[in-house]
């Protein structure tokens, strides 16, 4: 499910956060699905439970999960978050295309090069 890369410069809680965000946004984890308990995930990843708890708190703050006291953490319906993220990516791409055009590059040429990367 989630793997920690000890060569990654990001803190462990950020890697956990990023891993769950990817699982949720790609639909691998479905709405209402329960996340592993803090203790079980900490044991599985050989990390401190406080690290996992910090990642879960941030996931909840960002709207990816919700907590039911005494029952655990569950995946939130994130279809709106996914749409927002795609829109943000498109805004960033538009900004980059505009910057490249300011440098004299043609948009069509850039898009063709992008298609070639796929």
CA atoms within 13 A on the CB side of 55: 26
Q: Please, which residues have CB within 8 angstroms of residue 8's CB and are 6 or more apart in sequence?
A: 15
Tens digit of pLDDT at every position of the chain (118 positions)? 788 998 999 999 999 999 999 999 888 999 999 999 999 999 999 999 999 999 999 999 999 999 999 999 999 988 777 788 889 899 998 999 899 899 998 888 888 888 888 7
Q: Please, which residues have CB within 8 angstroms of residue 46's CB and are 6 or more apart in sequence?
A: 4
CA torsion 97→98→104→105, rounded to 10°?
A: 10
Global pTM? 0.72
């Amino acid at each position: 499910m989630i793997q920690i890369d000890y060569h990654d410069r990001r803190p462990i809680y950020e890697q956990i956060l990023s891993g769950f965000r990817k699982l949720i946004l790609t639909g691998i984890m479905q709405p209402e699905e329960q996340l592993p308990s803090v203790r079980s995930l900490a044991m599985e990843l050989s990390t401190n439970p406080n690290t996992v708890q910090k990642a879960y708190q941030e996931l909840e703050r960002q709207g990816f999960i919700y907590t039911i006291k005494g029952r655990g953490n569950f995946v939130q319906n994130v279809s709106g978050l996914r749409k927002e993220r795609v829109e943000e990516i498109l805004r960033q791409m538009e900004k980059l295309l505009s910057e490249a055009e300011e440098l004299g590059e043609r948009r069509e040429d850039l898009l063709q090069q992008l298609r070639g990367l796929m």
